[in-house]
């Protein structure tokens, strides 16, 4: 019979036991469960609720159980229902009556959410570290490719010339925002619910703040009903993971495109490519494609949790057992995607010549041709039309704007002078974008300084969480 079986006359059916068991999922939280139980026992002893000898026996017994699980020697039984029951049953078997006193003043309702919050904090910290490593790699590639020019796109059509460093730093900024979301998810989880018991608190004189401090929480929950039913912190983690996976998927899509024969902008390392079972020449960007695909899983994990929570009355309901699997999966998947993307970016070969050849196509100087006329007093709409006429002329001749003669320009508008040819130089056009955040190399250097400062600050934050 289960540890809670006092008012029951028969056991749950085998099928119902398997259906209701959370042990296959929450056994991953055994370290958090043991840490919470030790902190709870120490507090019970300090408050004089259980004898000091029992505290010592409980802590030592839990240490032995943790070592047994670490070593793979612990035998999990599906009949134990969850990790809490599995550990408590073994503790009672090991140390007797002292183990039976451990659950004084607590419920599995506040116990499980404490475990889950501890897990969420640790996974957020690990994800922030993986996020930082990817950002460092993007910065490194940006510094190495300051002079590489490529087409900037809108609607996947050639738009204006940009430097590759500028393009890579755009993703560094996306992932910096993701870091902030993960930090917010950490803060959301950093509240201790232990001592809320089943839903209403307890009559025992618990020192909730001592337990919170022992476990490294910064504060305690303010309402016991909310404490046992709140899973917003998992929503925050799942949302942060979903947004970051969307950003990774966008970068993965560009990796896929850029590595095609049609683009040829990059060559992926063999370590992050696969071949074909039938076509010997193939080098497939499978891992970038997997990142795109896994994004759907992570977004699905978020949606599943939202739907689970959407109509639950207070306080605890068994539906909440479904909270952990998706969040665990989302965190693990995001970390794997971070590591995979970081490896691809770190080892890819940038084909500057291919990017340079591509930037010569698509009349990327057209906006600057229009701006040339605007700076000489022509209204922008008329200048835009004139530049469009010149593009049409180039299409008819099969040439680019910088291959037109001065006479061709003057035939369109007398405001053009000899310097219009030099004004069509694409590197100069990109370099002239010196507004804050622009693609000019001077502006890029300022962006690099900002990104590197943020990486350093975020790295210090992660180190503080590890202490």
What CATH number did the domain enclosing 159 receive?
1.20.200.10
DSSP state of 11: P
Average pLDDT over residues 268-284: 92
Share of the chain above pLDDT 90, in %: 93
State the average pLDDT for the chain. 95
Residues 260 and 122 in one domain: yes
- For strands 349-350 and 266-267, give the pairing: antiparallel
- What is the predicted pLDDT for the residue at 10? 73
- What is the predicted pLDDT for the residue at 2? 62
Q: Please, which pLDDT band fits residue 124 given cuts at 50, 70 and 90?
A: very high
Q: Please, which pLDDT band fits residue 11 given cuts at 50, 70 and 90?
A: confident
Which residues are catalytically annotated? 155, 276
Residues 234 and 327 in one domain: yes
Q: Please, which pLDDT band fits residue 18 given cuts at 50, 70 and 90?
A: confident
In this predicted structure, the answer to whether residue 443 has a pLDDT above a threshold of 60 is yes
Residue finishing a domain among 301, 333, 358: 358
425 prior amide bond cis, ω within 30: no
Q: Please, which pLDDT band fits residue 3 given cuts at 50, 70 and 90?
A: low
Residues 171 and 294 in one domain: yes
Alpha-carbon distance of 353 to 23, in angstroms, equals 56
The residue with greater pLDDT, 2 or 215, is: 215
- What is the predicted pLDDT for the residue at 285? 95
- What is the predicted pLDDT for the residue at 16? 83
Q: Where in the sequence is the domain holding 441, given as residue range(s)? A: 361-445
- What is the predicted pLDDT for the residue at 20? 80
Alpha-carbon distance of 115 to 328, in angstroms, equals 13
Q: Which two tokens stand for residue 440?
A: 């000019």
Average pLDDT over residues 130-154: 98
Domain count, the chain: 3
Average pLDDT over residues 336-347: 98
Q: Which residue has the tokens 């739907």?
A: 307
Q: Say if 209 falls within a structural domain.
A: no
Q: Which two tokens stand for residue 430?
A: 């990109």
Residue finishing a domain among 43, 73, 104: 104
Write the CATH number for 24.
1.10.275.10
In this predicted structure, the answer to whether residue 5 has a pLDDT above a threshold of 70 is no
- Among 345, 142, 172, 139, smallest CA distance to 247 is for 172
Flag whether the pTM goes above 0.75.
Answer: yes
DSSP state of 399: -
Residues 125 and 269 in one domain: yes
- What is the predicted pLDDT for the residue at 4? 53
pLDDT digits (tens, 9 = 90+) for 254-268: 999 999 999 999 999
DSSP state of 265: -
pLDDT digits (tens, 9 = 90+) for 297-324: 999 999 999 999 999 999 999 999 999 9
In this predicted structure, the answer to whether residue 197 has a pLDDT above a threshold of 80 is yes
- What is the predicted pLDDT for the residue at 79? 87
Residues 317 and 198 in one domain: yes
- Among 248, 246, 218, 250, smallest CA distance to 233 is for 218
| Of 8-17, 50-59, 421-430, minimum mean pLDDT range | 8-17
- What is the predicted pLDDT for the residue at 23? 92
Q: Which residues pair with 162 in a beta bridge?
A: 150
Is residue 18 helix, strand or coil? helix
- Which residues 6+ apart lie within 8 Å of 407 measured at CB? none
Average pLDDT over residues 269-286: 92
In this predicted structure, the answer to whether residue 415 has a pLDDT above a threshold of 70 is yes
Residues 72 and 124 in one domain: no
């Amino acid at each position: 019979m289960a540890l809670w079986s006092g008012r029951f006359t028969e056991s749950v059916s085998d099928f119902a036991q398997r259906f209701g068991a959370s042990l296959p999922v929450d056994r991953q939280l055994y370290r958090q469960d043991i840490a919470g139980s030790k902190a709870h026992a120490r507090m019970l002893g300090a408050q004089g609720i259980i004898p000091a000898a029992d505290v010592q026996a409980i802590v030592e017994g839990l240490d032995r159980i943790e070592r047994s699980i670490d070593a793979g020697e612990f035998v999990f039984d599906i009949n134990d229902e969850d990790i809490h029951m599995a550990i408590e049953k073994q503790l009672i078997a090991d140390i007797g009556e002292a183990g039976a006193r451990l659950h004084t003043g607590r419920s599995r309702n506040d116990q499980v959410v404490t475990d889950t919050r501890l897990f969420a904090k640790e996974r957020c910290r690990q994800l922030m570290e993986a996020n930082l490593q990817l950002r460092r790699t993007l910065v490194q590639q940006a510094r190495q490719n300051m002079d590489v020019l490529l087409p900037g796109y809108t609607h996947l059509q050639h738009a204006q010339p940009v430097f590759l460093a500028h393009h890579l730093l755009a993703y560094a900024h996306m992932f910096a925002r993701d870091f902030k979301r993960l930090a917010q998810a950490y803060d959301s989880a950093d509240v201790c619910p232990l001592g809320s018991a089943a839903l209403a608190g307890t009559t025992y004189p618990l020192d909730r703040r001592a337990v919170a401090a022992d476990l490294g929480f910064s504060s305690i929950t303010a309402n016991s009903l909310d404490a046992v039913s709140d899973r917003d912190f998992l929503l925050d983690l799942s949302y942060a993971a979903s947004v970051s996976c969307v950003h990774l998927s966008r970068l993965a899509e560009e990796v896929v495109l850029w590595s095609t024969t049609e683009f040829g902008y990059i060559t992926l390392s063999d370590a992050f490519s696969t071949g074909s079972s039938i076509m010997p020449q193939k080098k497939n960007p499978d891992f970038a494609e997997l990142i795109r695909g896994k994004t759907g899983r992570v977004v699905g994990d978020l949606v599943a949790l939202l739907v689970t929570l959407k109509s639950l009355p207070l306080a605890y309901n068994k539906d909440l057992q479904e909270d952990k699997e998706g969040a665990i999966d989302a965190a693990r998947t995001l970390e794997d995607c971070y590591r995979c993307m970081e490896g691809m970016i770190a080892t890819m070969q940038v084909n500057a010549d291919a990017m340079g050849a591509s930037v010569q196509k698509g009349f990327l100087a057209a906006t600057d041709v229009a701006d040339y006329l605007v700076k000489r007093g022509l209204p922008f709409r008329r200048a835009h039309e004139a530049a469009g006429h010149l593009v049409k002329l180039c299409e008819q001749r099969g040439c680019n704007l910088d291959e037109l003669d001065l006479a061709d320009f003057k035939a369109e508008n007398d405001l053009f002078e000899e310097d219009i040819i030099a004004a069509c130089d694409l590197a100069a056009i990109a370099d002239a974008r010196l507004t804050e955040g622009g693609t000019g190399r001077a502006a890029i250097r300022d962006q690099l300084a900002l990104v590197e400062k943020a990486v350093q600050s975020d790295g210090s934050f992660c180190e503080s969480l590890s202490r």
